[in-house]
Structure 1
Amino acid sequence: MSLIAENKPAYDGKVLDLSGKSGARAFRNTLATVLIVLAFVLAMIPLVWILFTVVSKGYHLLLTADWWSQSQRGITVRREGGGAYHAIMGTLIMALITAVIAVPIAILGAIFLVEYGKGTRTAKVVSFMIDILTGVPSIVAALFIYAVWITIFGFNRVGFAVSLALVLLMLPVVLRSTEEMLKLVPDELREASYALGVPKWKTILKVVVPTAFGGIVTGVMLGLARVMGETAPLLILVGYSKNINLNPFNGFMGALPTMINQDRTELALPNAADRVWAAALTLILLVLALNLLARLIARFSAIKSK
């Protein structure tokens, strides 16, 4: 008897052959594979279609130096040209302010839920409120900040108010992703650190967070991608400006979503339709660049296994 036959289980003195698949099992396996591949193809069709349309209609403006260095100031029916520098800088400034406020709060909140408040009433309340924030539409967040920032305190419509509204949208995304990443850290690492006499706060800072750092950074980038394309807070909380304004606390600011909306209403101007597609492509490239940067940071900052 061969070695393969010797390793097979015996039943009533006969060797059972379990190496093959029955006809029904093989059919179900093939059917499931076909359905999964079909679902993947169906999901990729609109994505590829959108990317192809945006790239094919907007790439030529991105190849000009004016697009990255000039604003739309003075662009009329008689004067063509201009660029998206004012909108790019406005988008980056408001996104940066949003991240500076939302990311520390989200990470600290996730650490509390996973490391300190597990099972407590306070943690349940925090988790419930985060679930509510996850489903809040962007226009509701913008109207809330409008009521507080402008109606109650009497401040002007500025870029900082937009960042406050975007914080409400970014916070639950980053907190939930960070929470899941912290849960994936093996408890053995925590227990080994405690066994060496390391305090809990230092274990979290030196072991838990660095282990989950790659996932945390990915969550932050997902949060930024979520808020950088929002239009409702921009329309409600700050007016669109074609001039370059780098001060988020004074005056109207340009942003890529509102630039798209503005050019959509000014199709009579030269190249307005082209600017719509170019601004959309620029926004996609900015999000892509941020994600690539996050991957590099996570790759070189994560704990290396020996």
Structure 2
Amino acid sequence: MDARIGIRNTKSVLFKSVIIFLAFVITIPLIIVLLYIIKQGVMQVNWHFLTNIPAPVGEAGGGISNALLGSFIIVVMSSIIAIPVGVLAGIYLSENAGTRLAYYSGLCVDILQGVPSIVVGIAVYFWVVKPLGTFSAVSGSIALSIMMLPIVIRSTEQTLLLLPDTLKEAALSLGVPYHRVILKVIVPCGFAGILSGIMLSVARIIGETAPLLFTAFGNPYLSTAITKPMETLPHLIYTYATSPYDDWHNLAWGASFILLMFVLLLNIFTKLITRKWNIQL
């Protein structure tokens, strides 16, 4: 009996050791990438870098203020488009779970989530850019909002499905109208999970480059005109990283560091919310 227990304990220890080793191996590439970007990029970041536009070719210095502003504007516009639609669609799927329409709608959401970003960019190029006759922040926002939708929809649906039915039943039994039950009871109770999904969707799109190549395109100047081309951090990184100029390479590393910090902060914030409210996404 003691021998069997010893063998069983040995197998358990070996299995746990293998799991820990594999988990460590998985984190190694991430750690290497993070450390390398931090090493190359942190030296480029200063107040001048954050508050100035890129310098012309051949001139030292320059910054990424146009890309920071452009990314902020496009992400905000994308959120304004995607969040209301995504939350409402998620509410519908959670309230009508099991129906045929909800099933096929959910299937379409899953398919949309798997569509490559460059395909979304090309589609928006033909739907929006060509009819308007110009690249613009609006078309970039539409492309990114399409990519946000599946995450917002699914996170809203899954969060609301976790809520107990007694919440809705109690409110309805008091004579509260159905729409007020949804807006005043169900959505507030699931707000933390919905917010987590929104943050994840923003983290997903903030680093996308392919859709913006066909829509917002880029702009070397500081611009707030949403009907004109606009620079973003991912596009600036792509442009400067593929250039033959060392000064532009340095700008690309600095911009990569800033973008990495944004994504890390968004993901950390999302994890804190999900852990506090015990949400599964």
What TM-score, normalized by structure 1, do the two folds share? 0.82
5+ long unaligned stretches in structure 1: 1-16
Match of 2:74 in 1: 94
Give the conservation status (yes or no) of the 8 Å contact 2:78–2:142: yes
- Per the alignment, residue 239 of structure 2 pairs with 262
> What's 1:178 paired with?
156
Q: Residue 144 of structure 2 is aligned with which of 153, 166, 183?
A: 166
Report 1:117-128 matches (<5 A).
117-128=96-107
Distance 1:207 1:39 in 2: 44
User: Aligned pair 1:199/2:177, yes or no?
Assistant: yes
After superposition, the C-alpha distances for 1:104-125 in whole angstroms (9 at most, x for unaligned) are 111100100111x222222122
Counterparts of 1:219-238 in structure 2 under 5 Å? 219-238=197-216
Q: Report what 1:3 is aligned to.
A: none
TM-score normalised over the length of structure 2: 0.89
Q: 1:7 matched to which residue of 2?
A: none
Is 2:31 the counterpart of 1:48?
Answer: yes
Counterpart of 1:274? 250
The correspondence of residues 244-263 of structure 1 with structure 2, limited to 5 A, is 244-250=222-228, 252-263=229-240
What amino acid is the match of 2:217? G
Q: Identify if the C-alpha distance between structure 1 residues 293 and 89 changes in structure 2 by more than 3 Å, giving closer, same or farther.
A: farther
Answering whether residue 270 of structure 2 is matched by residue 288 of structure 1, we say no
The alpha carbon displacement at 1:255 in A equals 0.9
SS in 2 for 1:271: helix
Most deviating of 31-40 and 81-90: 31-40
What residue number does 2:87 align with?
A: 107
What is the number of equivalent residue pairs in this alignment? 275
Cα distance change on mapping 1:263 and 1:41 into 2, 3 Å:
same
Contact 1:217 1:298 in 2 (8 A): no
Query: Which of the pair is proportionally richer in helix?
Result: 2
C-alpha distance in structure 2 between counterparts of 1:245 and 1:292, whole Å: 31
Q: State the percentage of identical aligned residues.
A: 34
Shift of 1:126: 1.1
Equivalent residue, structure 1, for 2:135: 157
TM-aligned CA deviation for residue 234 of structure 1: 1.3
- Find the residue that maps to 2:214 and give its secondary structure: helix
Which string of whole-angstrom CA distances, capped at 9 and with x for unpartnered residues, describes residues 18-48 of structure 1?
A: xxx9335423432332232122211211111
* Equivalent of residue 219 in structure 2, options 241, 245, 255: 241
Structure 2 unpaired stretches of 5+: none
Q: Is the contact made by 2:89 and 2:153 (CA closer than 8 Å) also made in structure 1? A: yes
| Match for residue 65 of structure 1 among 25, 47, 58 | 47
**1:31–1:211 Cα change, 3 Å:** farther
Q: Which has the larger radius of gyration?
A: 1
Specify the code of the residue in structure 1 equivalent to 2:239.
Q
Hey, what's the Cα distance between the residues in 2 that align with 1:272 and 1:112? 48
Residues 163 and 204 of structure 1: is their aligned pair in 2 closer, same or farther, counting only changes over 3 Å? same
Residue 57 of structure 2 aligns to a residue whose secondary structure is: coil
Rounded Cα–Cα distance in structure 2 between residues aligned with 1:242 and 1:254 = 7
Q: Distance in 2 between matches of 1:299 and 1:42?
A: 25
The alignment partner of 1:237 has SS state of coil
Q: How does 1:11-26 map to 2 (within 5 A)?
A: 22-26=5-9
CA 1:212 to 1:25, structure 2 compared with 1: closer, same or farther past 3 Å? farther
C-alpha displacement of 1:76 = 2.1
